[in-house]
Amino acid sequence: MEALYLLIPLSVILVFVALWIFFRASDDGQFDDLVGPALRILQDDDNPRSDTK
Amino acid sequence: MPHTKPLNDAEAAPCYHCGQPLPAVVDHAAWTVNIAGAAHTMCCPGCAAVAQTIVDLGQESYYRDRTAYAASAEGAQQLPPELQLYDNADPRFALDEDSRESTFTVEGIRCAACVWLIEQRLARLPGVDSAQLNVATERLYVRWQQDRCQPGDILGALHTIGYSAYPYDVDRHADQQRRASKTLGRQLFVAGLSMMQVMMYVAPSYLAAGDGTLDSDMASLLRWASLLLTLPAILYSALPFWRGAWGGLRARTLGMDVPVALGIAAAFGASVIATFTGQGDVWFDSVTMFIFLLLCSRYLELRARRKAGAALERLQHALPASASLLENYPASSAATIVRAAALAVDNIIVIKAGEAVAADSVIIEGRTSLDLSLLSGESAPVPKNVGDAIPGGAINAGSMIIARVTRKAQDSTLSDLIKLINRAGGEKPRISLWADRVAAYFVAGLLLFALAAFGFWFWLDGSAVRAWPIAIAVLVVSCPCALSLATPTALAAATDQLLRQGVLVTGPQTLETLYRTTHIVLDKTGTLTWGRPVLQNIHELGAMRADFCLQVAATLEAGSAHPLARAIMNAAHEAGRENWSAATLTETAGCGLEGTVHNRRYRLGSAQFVAGIAGLPPPREHADGVTPVYLGVEGQWLACFHLHDGLRPDAQDTVDYFRKAGKTVVLVSGDDDVLARRVGDQLGIETTVGGYLPADKLNFVQQLQRRGCVVAMIGDGINDAAVLGAADVSFAMGSGAALAQAHADAVLLNGRLGAVADSARTAERTMQIIRQNLGWAMLYNVTAIPAAAIGLLNPWLSGVGMAASSAVVVLNALRLRRKT
């Protein structure tokens, strides 16, 4: 029971950390294209003749 | 709060630059400029910036020498300096000598109430002739008089009520849209996260309610945790509501955001007090949930608006930004890339396969096929040859062509189209204006009602324990947004759907009126028929076979633009006949052509003309309504081509559709009675009148209107302009330059008559959906508000109801975009 007095404040901090991570990811363009990366992974880019980087 | 300054002091020292009294609140540090060694305070950042500029330029003597304060533009006080750069001299705004017009992008439109607010504010601005905001595209169209108003004033007026606007720019607009939806997405996420976490902390108090198993220390800790987690939702996610409510209050109008903001503030405030004192209920869960759900419906609305504007957006992007200019054509074919806006008439441009045509032009080299789907809704590529006009915005789907520009990019067909559409989306139909007015009263009534409900319960209980949540529930449950959204969303979706089908709706009342129409009046030539002759058959008169006659005729006509010549050439082309070469061609105006093919001299044209070399009297054989064209060679008649204005293939279906729908179909024609009647009978039209001049047609339509009929007129746009203007709702068959002049409420871009029936179908569905939406909004509010007032709904349930009712309206409207 007493552990809750530590855990609840911790969970509040955790939520703020999650928000911070979300904002950083959003600023970096993580959510700008939610479809493309899933398609891109299917393409072979290790073909030696292709000039993809 | 910046330093405040006593008022009497302010009166003593006015703004050093413009002489206006200093406002009570002055930010000394920012608005002070050091002029000739002494610090002077300005009334606003604008004056400070100007004064600083003057000082920086070394022109401090201006202040010493001046005899009067600097002129100040009204509304410029609060205006960011960069907005003051726009003035009437900017050629972008020119309309004619006295008037200026422009399209602005407006940031921060949240819901239908914003539209009302912006238009009302601008209508009060002196010198503004008209201001129309297109909600679907967030674009504001303003026309103003140049001697009484500056663009800066308009932007300033918008600024004071909390919106920022910029002259419209495609790239900037797209960028803004992306940013707006990204911000809303983040706000939604934050609200969702905080809602879920708060729910976790609130759950124990609900589960242990009443049985005393939750000790007070733990309960207090949980409340504090909830409070902390509600803060991001209040401070970040609820920003759109705070801004909306504040902007509305500043303009002394009650926006839709006012009750929402009040509801959130009341619930949050009471909960914070309860947390501090440790007594009373907390509603952190309801607050976060309400914010989350409301943002969900806002997000949905934003998406719906974007979707509705999608067809328009594609049009905007269709005109390419650059073009390949051939400067030394034909000497050199080296192309330089120039801005499309810099193209001048008679420039030679090259359009490669897959590129878009930058401006209206004429092909001078090469043949190709063009994809006109954006301009006309026509999906199959259209073949184009040397000498054909190609509209800007068309996509070259064939091979490379070289073309001469005939109109500048900003005057191109597509630009005209876009202007028409922008204006179309801006004007509002009556039903929408009505809903807006009702919604404004609704909000005022609602606030009073919430107050009354609070008063009543407070009087009944003697405490605010029950009265407070009930007042919150009343504020939150009402949904004026559903009322205001009902019509615009449906109309935007319908207009978009029609544009995809090649119908450009330009009038605000078009769909509404079309639905009420009792009489459909059709023009014959150019509407029911092609409006140009089609080769019907060939009568052999001499020894030559019909297909050879056709080939000779097509060869002679090859360079002619006459409609009859076109018909013969098209027929030859369809028959797969290649042209030979003709020599010594001469054209006699109004008679025909003479030329030599394979060393024989032919004449093609009227009977008299051909008789000039054929020698014999012309054989008389032709039916009514058929134009004969004769071909003869020296001493002999060869053939008679029967040309006749054919019915459009979808004429029958269109007439049938309207007859089945119970409307009276009338055919009014300028041709003689017999001809008109034949077409009328063929299509099964009851009333056919012929021999009408444009004035008679106008008279006919007005007579029908006097009898109380609602008349829809379908004509070819140019000849029938007067009748089209007089009819209650009008459709013009049109394309190209004629578009801009068309006075019709709707233009059939692809020249497909059947599109009128499609529009009627869409109009019917649209009105149905608008009625459903309005009905639903009414029903919801009429039941939900009293229910909340008598305490049946608690705040969280009200939040669900409000968000759901908005979502229902938007989703219902989106059904219109589905293909039937």
Walk me through the domains of chain B, giving residue ranges and CATH numbers: 7-65 (no CATH), 81-168 (3.30.70.100), 176-310+426-482 (no CATH), 320-411 (2.70.150.10), 533-647 (3.40.1110.10)
- Which two three-digit tokens encode residue B418? 């876009």
Q: Which residue of B has its CA nearest to A23?
A: B186
- Top pLDDT among B432 and B32 is at B32
Query: Is residue A25 assigned to a domain?
Result: yes
Query: Is residue A50 assigned to a domain?
Result: no
Nearby residues of A14 by Cβ (< 8 Å), 6 or more positions away: none
β-strand B32-35 against B128-134: which pairing, if any? unpaired
pLDDT band at A18 (very low <50, low <70, confident <90, very high): very high
The 3 state secondary structure assigned to B455-490 is: HHHHHHHCCHHHHHHHHHHHHHHCCHHHHHHHHHHH
Sequence length of chain B is 820
Chain B contact present for A15, CB below 8 A: yes
C-alpha distances out from residue B29 to B3, B41, B60, Å: 9, 9, 20
- Helix (H), strand (E) at residue B8: helix B7-12
Verify whether the Cβ–Cβ distance A12 to B182 is below 8 Å.
no
Minimal Cα–Cα distance from A6 to chain B, Å?
11
C-alpha span between B58 and B29 (Å, rounded): 22
pLDDT band at A52 (very low <50, low <70, confident <90, very high): very low
Minimal Cα–Cα distance from B201 to chain A, Å?
9
How confident is the prediction for chain B on average, in pLDDT? 76
C-alpha span between B362 and B792 (Å, rounded): 71
C-alpha span between B289 and B295 (Å, rounded): 10
- In angstroms and rounded to an integer, the radius of gyration of the C-alpha atoms of chain A is 20
Chain B contact present for A8, CB below 8 A: yes
Q: Can the peptide bond before residue A37 be classed as cis, meaning omega within 30 degrees of 0?
A: no
Q: Which residue of A has its CA nearest to B231?
A: A16
pLDDT band at B452 (very low <50, low <70, confident <90, very high): very high
Query: Is residue A52 assigned to a domain?
Result: no
Q: Which residue of A has its CA nearest to B222?
A: A8
Verify whether the Cβ–Cβ distance A19 to B193 is below 8 Å.
yes
- Top pLDDT among B221 and B172 is at B221
Per-residue confidence (pLDDT) for residue B735, from 0 to 100:
52
Percent of chain A surpassing pLDDT 90: 30
Chain B contact present for A21, CB below 8 A: no
C-alpha span between B618 and B591 (Å, rounded): 14
Q: Which residues of B touch A16 (CB under 8 A)?
A: 232
Per-residue confidence (pLDDT) for residue A20, from 0 to 100:
93
The count of structural domains within chain A is: 1
Q: Which residues of B touch A5 (CB under 8 A)?
A: 221
Per-residue confidence (pLDDT) for residue B672, from 0 to 100:
72
Q: Tens of pLDDT along B493-540? A: 888 788 778 787 777 778 888 888 898 988 877 778 776 677 777 877
Q: Which residues of A touch B200 (CB under 8 A)?
A: 11
Q: Helix B112-123 to helix B480-500 angle, to the nearest 10 degrees?
A: 90
Pick the range with the lowest mean pLDDT from B345-349, B652-656, B795-799: B795-799
Query: Is residue A51 assigned to a domain?
Result: no
Segment B731-750 mean pLDDT = 64
pLDDT band at A29 (very low <50, low <70, confident <90, very high): confident
Q: Which residue of B has its CA nearest to A20?
A: B190
Asked whether residue B640 carries a pLDDT value surpassing 70, the answer given is yes
Q: Which residue of A has its CA nearest to B230?
A: A12
Q: How many CB pairs under 8 A join A and B?
A: 35
Verify whether the Cβ–Cβ distance A31 to B190 is below 8 Å.
no
Q: Which residues of A touch B221 (CB under 8 A)?
A: 4-5, 8
C-alpha span between B331 and B164 (Å, rounded): 51
Nearby residues of B392 by Cβ (< 8 Å), 6 or more positions away: B319, B356, B357, B358, B359, B360, B361, B407, B409, B412, B413, B414, B415
Chain B contact present for A26, CB below 8 A: yes
* Cβ–Cβ under 8 Å, residues B47 and B41: no
Per-residue confidence (pLDDT) for residue B64, from 0 to 100:
63
C-alpha span between B392 and B358 (Å, rounded): 5
Strand runs (DSSP E) across B685-765, as ranges?
687-689, 711-715, 729-733, 746-748
Q: Catalytic: B388?
A: no
Q: Among B531, B560, B568, which residue's Cα sits nearest to residue B715?
A: B531
Q: Among B548, B709, B737, which residue's Cα sits nearest to residue B639?
A: B548
Helix, strand, coil percentages, rounded to 5, for chain A: 55, 0, 45
Q: Backbone phi, then psi, for A35, in 5-degree steps? A: -105, -40
Question: Does residue B744 sit in helix, strand or coil?
Answer: coil
Q: Which residues of A touch B229 (CB under 8 A)?
A: 12, 15
pLDDT band at B191 (very low <50, low <70, confident <90, very high): very high
- In this complex, the residue of A9, A19, A31 whose CB is nearest that of residue B185 is A31
Query: Is residue A34 assigned to a domain?
Result: yes
Per-residue confidence (pLDDT) for residue A21, from 0 to 100:
93
Q: Tens of pLDDT along B608-630? A: 788 777 776 666 655 566 777 88
Minimal Cα–Cα distance from B307 to chain A, Å?
18
- Which two three-digit tokens encode residue B326? 């051939």
Residue in the block written with tokens 């909390």? B162
Percent of chain B surpassing pLDDT 70: 75
Minimal Cα–Cα distance from A28 to chain B, Å?
12
Q: Tens of pLDDT along B28-82? A: 556 677 777 777 777 766 667 667 766 765 666 666 666 556 544 333 344 555 5
Q: Among B112, B102, B97, which residue's Cα sits nearest to residue B139?
A: B102
- Top pLDDT among B61 and B662 is at B662
Segment A9-20 mean pLDDT = 92
Asked whether residue B709 carries a pLDDT value surpassing 80, the answer given is yes
Query: Is residue A49 assigned to a domain?
Result: no
- In this complex, the residue of B193, B221, B222 whose CB is nearest that of residue A18 is B193
C-alpha span between B704 and B684 (Å, rounded): 21
* Cβ–Cβ under 8 Å, residues B530 and B768: no
Sequence length of chain A is 53
pLDDT band at B2 (very low <50, low <70, confident <90, very high): very low
Query: Is residue A35 assigned to a domain?
Result: yes
- In this complex, the residue of A5, A26, A32 whose CB is nearest that of residue B221 is A5
Q: Among B610, B520, B502, which residue's Cα sits nearest to residue B556?
A: B610
C-alpha span between B198 and B192 (Å, rounded): 10
C-alpha span between B669 and B520 (Å, rounded): 14
- What is the number of H-type helices and E-type strands within chain A? 2, 0
Question: Does residue B520 sit in helix, strand or coil?
Answer: strand
Q: Which residues of B touch A8 (CB under 8 A)?
A: 201, 221-222, 225
* Cβ–Cβ under 8 Å, residues B389 and B736: yes
- What's the DSSP call for residue B68? S
- Helix (H), strand (E) at residue B38: strand B38-41
pLDDT band at A17 (very low <50, low <70, confident <90, very high): very high
- What's the DSSP call for residue B395? E
Q: Tell me which range, B21-30, B49-58, B296-305, B374-383, is most confidently predicted by mean pLDDT.
A: B296-305
Chain A contact present for B747, CB below 8 A: no
Segment B813-818 mean pLDDT = 80
- In this complex, the residue of A8, A15, A22 whose CB is nearest that of residue B189 is A22
Q: Helix B795-814 to helix B284-308 angle, to the nearest 10 degrees?
A: 10
- Top pLDDT among B175 and B295 is at B295
Segment B5-10 mean pLDDT = 39
- Top pLDDT among B604 and B230 is at B230
Question: Does residue B620 sit in helix, strand or coil?
Answer: coil
Segment B311-327 mean pLDDT = 69
Q: In terms of residue numbers, what domain contains A28?
A: 3-40
Verify whether the Cβ–Cβ distance A19 to B221 is below 8 Å.
no
Q: Which residue of A has its CA nearest to B236?
A: A19
- In this complex, the residue of B189, B221, B232 whose CB is nearest that of residue A8 is B221
Verify whether the Cβ–Cβ distance B225 to A4 is below 8 Å.
no
Question: Does residue B212 sit in helix, strand or coil?
Answer: coil
Strand runs (DSSP E) across B111-193, as ranges?
128-134, 139-145, 164-167
Residue B275: CA count within 13 A, CB half-sphere: 19
C-alpha span between B651 and B148 (Å, rounded): 51
Long-range contacts of B36-43 (CB under 8 A, 24+ apart): B36/B60, B36/B63, B36/B64, B40/B16, B41/B13, B41/B15, B41/B16, B42/B15, B42/B16, B42/B17, B42/B18, B43/B14, B43/B15, B43/B17, B43/B18, B43/B77
- What's the DSSP call for residue B266? H
